[in-house]
Structure 1
Amino acid sequence: MRNHTAITTFILLGLTDDPQLQILLFIFLVIAYLLSVTGNMTIILLVLVDNHLKTAMYYFLQNFSILEISFTSACVPRFLYSISTGDRTITYNACLSQLFFIYLFAIVQFFLLTIMSYDRYVAICKPLHYVTIMNRRVCRRLVIGCWMVTLLLICPLLILTLGLEFCDSNAIDHFGCDANPLMKISCSDTWLLEQMVVICSVLIFILTLVCVVLSYVYIIRTILRFPSAQQRKKAFSTCSSHMIVLSLSYGSCIFIYIKPSAKDDMTMNKGIALLTTSISPMLNPFIYTLRNKQVIQAFNDLVTKLYSSQGTRGMFK
């Protein structure tokens, strides 16, 4: 603990004090978390073992699945622990660690979604040069760039957060450590940190959104020029999964941080944050797999191989 911090632990107020609602919430979160981890791990495994998925699109999807598991694991297990044991306390260091990793994984996700939009732009608008432009080295550098830029953005914010003093209250009005509730209970001057959080959030949101919108403007314009209706349908189908995930990610961000009526409503913010950390990571694997014939085929091939190997072992016993 820092000497300037009088409080060594925080209390997470959670979502509700109703025991029955807590039971339902616990069951819901356990199911959502297990489905999220299972679905995303399946995508990671399929991309690793199937040669047909060794392309830039699936490389980015694999990294996105890793981020989804990391993001939901940074907050949901801790919340499940609080509900199951009734222990709502969290240490100062654990709280700041959770805050750091949640923002790290969330911001990297936005940058990666932007790169995935660019990947779709190259695939549809410049198909003849796709393999050359989106080669393995470029893909690796783009993913590493997402992490590096994110670290450069959040490290100054983390340093300022480490300087906050907590003297009077230690109750965080959330189910996890979040920047806004922490600043509300701090007895330090948080003006600079608040301004930096707003500036970074707006910059990340607007820059990534502009890049995504530009990519899809060119994509849609190119698709509409296709002579065949079947070609247009196939191209739209290729992009539809990514567009749904983009809508979920940016939509939740708008509600929490930009929509004026929801800005001061912590109950609504906590509800949307819960959906973002549990529902979205659970739905995304299904959105990508159910609308993608290659992933479904890779999954069927893997199941067939596993079933055949089990049958062969049984014959030799």
Structure 2
Amino acid sequence: MNNRREFLIKSFFGTAGIALASTSLIKGAPAIIKNYNKPDSKINGVQIGCITYSFRSLPDQSAEATLKYVTDSGISAIELMGGPAESFAGMPESTMDNGRYNNLRRKKRDGGQLSADENKEFMELQKEAEAHAANVAAWRAKTDFKKFEKFRKMYKDAGVSIYAFKPGAFGMNNTDAEIAYGMKAARALGASHVTLEHPANDARTLKLGKMGEKNKMSVGYHGHTQQTPTFWDTALEQSPRNALNLDAGHYIAAGYTDIFELLQKKHKRILSMHTKDRQTPANGKGNLPWGEGDTPIVELLSEIQSKKYKFPATIELEYKIPEGSDAVKEVQKCFEYCRRSLA
């Protein structure tokens, strides 16, 4: 066994072109071998992460496929959407067209006018969604959290940690039992916080903050172009567990130029920062490939690095994927942009 172990160590260092003259180097070999070929997206002190929503365009949304998307992108830390983990844990599957439903809901939310046919379709899909939600709530009430621990181990073994979890368990229609479930699942996954869209409801943020205190889980509120310098203030005052899931791109698209001041004032309450390149209102608010918009990504990453802020910068792929490319290739480009920015 010792001879075989020595052979493996020598083979590894021989392939890597590393001399074996040092005894201390040989002793360190098992740790090096264990981490060999695993992703590492912490660059000069700044953790670059990715929200798995970035891979939504890819057909396979299973736990295993999502893990491969992440590692192929070179990412070692993630904000995890609910789908891959909950399906892995056995959550009932929906038979409805979620993509179509989300597109119609987004159009309606953003002030778009639905046609009569679209509105009828939306109402039918909404009924299906409500029925599925009831089935999911029943499943969540009897969930075995060991399955989430198993999910965590699978990702950890591949070199990927989970710092945030975003299941659909914290909405206005979700019960207290579902909120507690989401927080317990996040803890089993190793996350420091859960994320959700800011509900624009003070009673709800108070409830979530208090339940976060009870379940020892922080809550990061995400916003779109409704973000303002004071957007999170009430929630922050309500509970020490309430915090920011800042979106830098949306903040710029909202027309605010004080993002560095916001970071300076509230960095201790920022749990993670979505990073994308959007234009200012004067330039059209577009969501563009990195380096083509108005979000000061390079400067933001430099600020995180120089001030030693602890929160990760989360890649969120939202610009249109070019023909001939795919989500993994585009996340790779975003990550390389971060790498060059922090070099």
TM-score bracket relative to the smaller structure: under 0.3
Name the structure where strand makes up a greater proportion of residues.
2
Q: Which has the higher contact order (CA 8 A, sep 6+)?
A: 1
Name the structure where helix makes up a greater proportion of residues.
1
Q: Name the TM-score, length of structure 2 as normaliser.
A: 0.23
